[in-house]
Amino acid sequence: MANEEEPQQKLIITDSSKIYEDMSPYYLKDTFSDIQIILSDKTIHAHKIVLAARCKYFETLLMQDPKQTEIKLVDVPSKAFEEIVYYIYTGSVVIASFDKNHISDILELANEYSLKTLEKSIYEKINVILNSSNVCFFLNVANAHDMDELRQKCHTFIDEHVSQTLEYDFLNSLTQKSMVKLLKRDAFLVNEIDVFNIAANWCKINKDVDNLVIECVRFSCLTQNEILNVVWPSKVVDNEKLLNLLATIQNKSTHEELRFAGQLKDKNLATAEYNVKVISGMNTNMLFEEPENCKDGAYHHTNDENGITIDLGVVKFFNNITMFIKESREGSASSPSLSLAMALSRGYEISRKYESTK
C-alpha cells in the first residue's frame, strides 16, 4: 500500500523586532543612498525603498519617476523633517522639548505625509500638555489642517476651563475660523450672555470679517436686561438690530431656544445617524431606530455583568433615558441593573422611563 503523501506544512519564523534596529544605522547616511532630499538649508541622504515602504506620500512621489535621484521640498522646516525621516527609519521619534512650534511642525508633516500612527501619538502628547497658554495655538493648527481629533481635544479643554473659571481672555488669539467653530457648537457649556462676552471681547482685538463671530451669538436667548445693560453698551452690535431684538423678545416670558439641547429636542441619540457605536453587548451592529423596532437593538442577558457599552462619539447631554425590557419566557420581566455615568446640562433632571415590550 502506497504511503499517503503528507500534507505540506510551512515553518514560519519571524524576527520583526530587528527590522527597525537593522534600518536605523542608515538614517541620514549616504551608504547605499539612492535619493537626496533637498531642503532650503540642507540636503538629506535617504533610500527609496525605505521611504516608499514606510510612507505612502513618498511611495506615490517616487512612483511618478522611479529613476529620480533628487526630491526638492519647499517651505519644509528641516528640524521637523529630520524627525519625520528618523521616524520612518526607526519607528520612533524623540521630541526634546515641549516647544509648541516644533511639535506643530512635526504634526503638520505627519498629517501631510499620512503617517497616521505618528499623528495620533502626537495628539495624545498634546492632550497632556494642553493649558490656557497653548490651547488656542493648537486649535488654530487643527482648524487650519482639518484635524478633527485635535480640534475635539482642544474644544473639550476650553469647555471645561471656561465653564469652571469663566475666564476667556486667552481665547483672543484664536483665528476667526477657530472662534466660529468653537462658539457655534450646542455643547459649549456657558450661558448665552457669556457667549456674547467671549465674542465681543474677541471682536475688540480682532477683525470680525462679515460679522461671522458675533453672529454666533443666539441673541434670542438673551433677556431684555442683558441686551440693554451688556450688549448695547459694548457697541459691537448694530443699534437697529438690537432694537429689532428688543421688539421680538418684549413679550417673551421664556426662551424658545437653548444652546445646550435646542436642536436635539425629542431626538433619539442612540442611532448610527449620530455616529453612536455599540462597543460591547450582543447584536452590537444594531441600534434603536424606533421603540417598536427594539428587536433590532443591542441587548444583553441579565447574567452578563458587562452589560452594554455605547460610545457616543462626542459629549452629549441627556434629559431622558428610555430602556426597553423584554419579557422572559416565564412571562415576567427581568429586573434591570442600570449604572449610568453622564453629564447633564443646567436645569435638566434625569427622567428614567421603563417600558416593557414583548
Residues 140 and 196 in one domain: yes
Per the structure, how many domains does the chain have? 3
What percentage of the chain exceeds 90 in pLDDT? 42
Domain membership flag for residue 203? yes
Residues 255 and 144 in one domain: yes
Query: pLDDT digit string (tens) for 234-246?
Result: 988 888 888 888 8
Residues 195 and 84 in one domain: no
Q: Which three cell numbers stand for residue 203?
A: 471682536
From residue 201, how far is each of 172, 197, 230 by CA, in Å? Answer: 7, 6, 12
Whether residue 176 has pLDDT greater than 50: yes
Residues 242 and 289 in one domain: no
For residue 214, with 0-12 CB atoms within 10 Å meaning exposed, 13-18 middle and 19 or more buried, which class applies? buried
Domain membership flag for residue 5? no
- Residue 138's pLDDT band, with cuts at 50, 70 and 90, is very high
Domain membership flag for residue 3? no
Higher pLDDT, 82 or 268: 82
Domain membership flag for residue 31? yes
Residues 124 and 148 in one domain: no
Residues 177 and 251 in one domain: yes
35: DSSP letter: E
* Nearest CA among 91, 99, 143, 140 for reference residue 117: 91
Domain membership flag for residue 7? no
Whether residue 340 has pLDDT greater than 50: no
- Which residues constitute the domain of residue 123? 18-129
Whether residue 8 has pLDDT greater than 80: no
Under DSSP, is residue 37 helix (H, G, I), strand (E, B) or coil?
strand
Query: pLDDT digit string (tens) for 190-229?
Result: 888 999 999 999 999 999 999 999 999 988 888 888 999 9
Q: Of 110, 129, 148, which closes a domain? A: 129
For residue 269, with 0-12 CB atoms within 10 Å meaning exposed, 13-18 middle and 19 or more buried, which class applies? middle
Query: pLDDT digit string (tens) for 15-65?
Result: 556 777 778 888 888 888 999 999 998 999 999 999 999 999 999 999 999
Backbone φ and ψ for 82, nearest 5 degrees, come out as: -60, -35
Q: Of 78, 99, 129, which closes a domain? A: 129
- Residue 118's pLDDT band, with cuts at 50, 70 and 90, is very high
Predicted model pTM: 0.66
Domain membership flag for residue 74? yes
Residues 201 and 273 in one domain: no
Q: Of 225, 259, 293, which closes a domain? A: 259
Residues 144 and 247 in one domain: yes
Query: pLDDT digit string (tens) for 271-287?
Result: 666 677 777 776 666 55
Domain membership flag for residue 305? yes
